[in-house]
């Protein structure tokens, strides 16, 4: 009888652990339009107070989350620049271009994956710091952007 009780508990622990691993997709279902969510790990891409060296500072926003800060992607640019947020804010990147884009930390530890035209992707930062980011789809054109989390 004890085994029957432990099996669901152990299975639940593995399911939760699988959502927070480095390099894994901690994504909820993408919104209509094909947006992908972020990887769950972030680390040394932060500077100053947010330097982490491997902690989970960035993750996909929970399903049904409402944006606290919105970043427009238009004309192959991110606006506002810099993005200013507080720890725990939901930052939404809204693609208003006809081309796909992403918001990717320069060190590659956190990424929205591809955000198709008309779609959005949301991330939450759990540690203060200055995070440099770019578009991985257009890295030569869309680079040198900053997220400031206080």
CATH, residue 93: 2.60.40.420
3-state secondary structure of 13: helix
- CA 90/CA 65 separation, integer angstroms: 7
Q: What is the pLDDT of residue 56?
A: 55
**115: CB partners within 8 A, 6+ apart:** 35, 36, 73, 93, 95, 100, 101, 102, 103, 121
Q: What is the pLDDT of residue 139?
A: 96
Provide the pairing of β-strand 145-149 with 120-125.
unpaired
Q: What is the pLDDT of residue 67?
A: 97
Q: What is the pLDDT of residue 3?
A: 43
- CA 136/CA 150 separation, integer angstroms: 25
Domain containing residue 54 = 2-149
Q: How far apart are the first and last CA of the chain?
A: 50
Mean pLDDT per block of 10 residues along the chain (150 residues) reads 40 33 32 33 36 62 95 98 97 98 94 97 96 97 97
State the total domains in the chain.
1
Edge-first strand listing for the sheet containing 58-60: 58-60, 120-125, 90-95, 69-74, 77-79
């Amino acid at each position: 009888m004890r085994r029957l009780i432990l099996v669901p508990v152990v299975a639940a622990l593995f399911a939760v652990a699988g959502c927070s691993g480095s390099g894994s997709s901690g994504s909820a279902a993408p919104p209509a339009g094909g947006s992908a969510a972020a990887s769950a790990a972030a680390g040394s891409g932060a500077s100053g107070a947010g330097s982490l060296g491997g902690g989970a500072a960035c993750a996909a926003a929970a399903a049904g989350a409402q944006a606290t800060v919105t970043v427009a992607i238009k004309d192959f640019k991110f606006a506002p620049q810099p993005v200013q947020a507080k720890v725990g804010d939901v930052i939404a990147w809204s693609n208003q271009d006809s081309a796909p884009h992403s918001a990717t930390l320069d060190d590659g530890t956190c990424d929205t994956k591809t955000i198709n035209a008309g779609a959005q992707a949301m991330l939450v930062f759990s540690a203060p710091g200055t995070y440099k980011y770019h578009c991985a789809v257009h890295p030569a054109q869309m680079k040198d952007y900053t997220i400031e989390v206080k």
